Amino acid sequence: MKDLNGKVALVTGAASGIGLETSRLLASYGAQVVMSDINAEALADSGALGCPGARTIVHDVSSEDDWRKVFAFIEAEYGHLDILVNNAGIMRPEPFEQAKLETLRLQNRINVESVYIGMHGALPLMKKALAQGRLSTSIVNVSSVYGMVAGSAFSAYSATKGAVRALTKAVALELAGSGVRVNCILPGPAATNLSASWEPPRDADGNLLSAEEALAPWVSLIPVGRIGMADDMAPVIAFLASDMAKFITGAEFVADGGYTAQ
pLDDT at 146 over 70: yes
Band (209; pLDDT cuts 50, 70, 90): low
Average pLDDT of 136-151? 96
Output phi, psi for 76, to 5 deg.
Answer: -65, -40
177 or 50, greater pLDDT: 177
Strand partners, 37: 58
Q: Classify the C-alpha dihedral 199-155-140-10 as positive or negative.
A: negative
pLDDT at 25 over 80: yes
Query: Contact 188/147 with Cβ under 8 angstroms?
Result: no
Q: For the chain, count helices (H), then strands (E).
A: 8, 7
- Please state, for a pLDDT cut of 70, what percent of the chain lies above it: 92
Average pLDDT of 208-233? 85
Q: Which of 64, 62, 151 is nearest to 112 (CA)?
A: 62
pLDDT at 6 over 90: yes
pLDDT tens for 222-251 read: 999 999 999 999 999 999 999 999 999 999
- Please state, for a pLDDT cut of 90, what percent of the chain lies above it: 79
pLDDT tens for 59-80 read: 999 999 999 999 999 999 999 9
Active-site choice (29, 146, 157, 259): 157
Band (52; pLDDT cuts 50, 70, 90): confident
List of residues 6+ apart from 243 with CB closer than 8 A: 3, 135, 136
Superfamily of structural domain 8-192+229-255: NAD(P)-binding Rossmann-like Domain (3.40.50.720)
pLDDT of residue 213: 73
Q: Answer yes or no: 259 catalytic.
A: no
Listed by start position, the domains of the chain span: 8-192+229-255
SS3 letters for 159-208? HHHHHHHHHHHHHHHHHCCCCEEEEEEEECCECCHHHCCCCCCECCCCCE
pLDDT at 163 over 80: yes
pLDDT at 258 over 90: yes
Q: Classify the C-alpha dihedral 47-50-52-58 as positive or negative.
A: negative
Distance CA 50, CA 43 (A): 11
Output phi, psi for 106, to 5 deg.
Answer: -60, -50
Cα separations in angstroms, 22 against 97, 130, 215 = 37, 23, 24
Distance CA 20, CA 245 (A): 22
Cα separations in angstroms, 32 against 10, 51, 109, 191 = 9, 10, 28, 26
* Amino acid found at 117: I
Band (44; pLDDT cuts 50, 70, 90): confident
Cα separations in angstroms, 93 against 73, 99, 249 = 35, 9, 31
pLDDT tens for 79-97 read: 999 999 999 999 998 999 9
Please report how many Cα atoms fall inside a 13 Å half-sphere around the Cα of residue 206, on the Cβ side.
0
Average pLDDT of 199-210? 66
Distance CA 229, CA 239 (A): 17
* Amino acid found at 95: P
pLDDT at 207 over 90: no
pLDDT of residue 11: 98
* DSSP state at residue 109: I
Global confidence as pTM: 0.93
Band (199; pLDDT cuts 50, 70, 90): low
48 or 251, greater pLDDT: 251
50 or 39, greater pLDDT: 39
